[in-house]
Amino acid sequence: MTMAKRKILILCTGNSCRSQMAEGYLRYFAGERAEIYSAGVEVHGVNPRAVAVMKEDGIDISEHTSNHIDEYNGIGFDIVMTVCDNAKESCPYFPTKALKFHRNFPDPAKATGSEAFIDEHFRKTRDLIKDHFRQFTAEHLSKY
């Protein structure tokens, strides 16, 4: 008997960095066990630095799009995950029985300084997201 794929939504403020990286890693770790979506409470476009640091780790998010949460109103999500405090606080009400998870990751787009410093901030956030979603997949998607 095959279990249905879990539908998972990852929410962030602008759907440009953290949620995009999380979507990339969750797609990678979950494979065929889940359908992964990401969205923002605003839409800022996919950040080119996020694309670059993910590519360094072998994950291609260059074709991802930045989506607004309203685009997914008709989808019955099993899991809704927020990856920043702002999204958790301003997340619209979903008429859903979805399990909700939250983890605040630092916003690499707010880093200032040299190009090397900003890139390193993106890498640190990427690595935090990777570790979290590897563990999340093992704990919550292993039976699917």
Superfamily of domain 6-140: Response regulator (3.40.50.2300)
Find, among 12, 35, 44, the residue nearest to 125 by Cα.
12
Q: Which residues are catalytic?
A: 12, 84, 91
The yes-or-no verdict on residue 74 having pLDDT over 90 is no
Could you state, in order of their start, the residue ranges of all structural domains in the chain?
6-140
> In the predicted model, is pLDDT for residue 2 greater than 70?
no
Q: Can you tell me the mean pLDDT for 17-42? A: 95
* CB-count burial class (<10 Å; 0-12, 13-18, 19+) for 136: buried
Do residues 133 and 29 touch, judged by C-beta distance below 8 A?
yes
- 4: pLDDT confidence band, cut at 50, 70 and 90? confident
* 70-87 average pLDDT score: 89
The strand pairing partners of 37, in sequence order, are: 9
CA nearest to 94, candidates 72, 111, 118, 112: 72
Q: What is the pLDDT of residue 1?
A: 44
Residue pair 23/36 in contact (Cβ under 8 Å)? The answer is: yes
Collapsing DSSP to helix, strand or coil, 124 comes out as helix
pTM of the model: 0.92
Mean pLDDT on 66-76: 91
Mean pLDDT to the nearest integer, 104-129: 97
